[in-house]
Structure 1
Amino acid sequence: MLKKERHDLIMRQINLHNRVLSSDLIQLLQVSEDTIRRDLQELADQNLLFKVHGGALSKSYHSSFDDSTVYAKDRKIVIAKKAISLIKDGMVILTGGGTTILEVVKHLPENLNATFFTISPMVAIELARFPNIEVIIIGGTFSKNSQISYGGHAINQISEINIDLCLLGTSAIHPENGLTDTNWEINQLKKTIFNSSNKIAILCISEKLNITQRLKVCSLDNIDYLITELDPKSSKLEKYKSKNLKLL
């Protein structure tokens, strides 16, 4: 595989998942650790990603104020506008983090009256400009990679909330394997979120469909809404249709 092909594939993984582990890239590309290290350094030198210990992070994921580098921004705006149709006055809503959730917040009605809990400080900052929204940040250990709070303290807080609607992004979703991710501790947080939420909406661009990662979060039966930029009647979504899952 040529260097440019490796770089393009690395950037695709970064854009889709916001972060990538060197160990996963080594397995995916079938190259040495030294090769991946050099590739990540070259991409970092081009200001395309943040190189960190053990992998790399997306640049767009780490700035809520400069969204010029957000991957698939137009598609995420389409998703955001669909998600907003689920939000009603008086609701108690919990959000995850990530660029798609930030687009939801940026497009909320100015006069919305609701309570938002969030595990993302960046989302909380965006929510703060709405005069009728009460914003409550879930505290805990802060993940520098995912930019969210997690751990036992966060889990205890979320377990005590009766959530009307939860809005979460995802790294991967598959019709048979459900939601999957790569971080064990954050997966435990997500499972608590699912147990505390009356309705769950998963927001993701269609490029994340039919992907499976190492750790299981939940099956499709635990999800109420799957929101993509696609028309719900799209053939790409055929395998995701079930009696418990509504496509938006």
Structure 2
Amino acid sequence: MITSPAGPIDLNADLGEGFGRWTLTDDAALLSVVTSANVACGFHAGDPSIMRRVCERAAERGVRIGAQVSYRDLAGFGRRSMDVPPGELADEIAYQIGALEVFARAAGSRVSYVKPHGALYNRTVHDAAQAGAVVAGIRLAAGEAGLPVLGLPGSLLLAAAGEAGLEPVPEAFADRAYAPGGTLVPRGEPGAVVHDPDAVVARAVGMAAEGSVTAADGSRIAVAARSLCVHGDTPGAAELARRVRDALGAAGVRVEAFA
């Protein structure tokens, strides 16, 4: 049995991405595959009833519950960058974590980590003020105990988390293209999302077993990750996640939650 270069690999997906009568992610199916669930907290998607249901199902299946925090952007699905004052953003991060914690505890579980979504995730790669605000919000919600923070390797977010005494958890994306510098190719650019299931599976195994991936320019770059993400809003996401998990197992990679 081998592990990823950083140890056992976690498999996470974005869940609860609906609102009212509108649904996007197949939460029940994904929860039978992943080890960690990034649950939308109402700012880019999700509502109280969806959050409660996802937490209940995650707790039943032993899946770790993570708060997927976002800019306040329901209309844009959290994918529009916003200039939110750091103090206000910290309050909004704490608000989202606290809301999800209520439902996680009611289900007999707890919020185990935090992962920014969309534009906030990408912004905190290089924006120190926004990264610091996310960390401050986590501290406000979780106190001295803190919570692990999922983010891009080398990002200012993970650096700020480590400096604040929070556990930084680097992740990789099996279904997203990488720039040569190790950042994600912006979604607006061609080829930013990898749609070929075979390619996604091969990339996932390469990242977990070898710690590397082929970038958009054809170069091979290092990717040190403790968690792999398969996006829940991808068509056929549950089946794709199952294929990824099966392939990791076949390659001798141990899959288990980091939190």
Is the shorter-chain TM-score for this pair beyond 0.5, marking a shared fold?
no
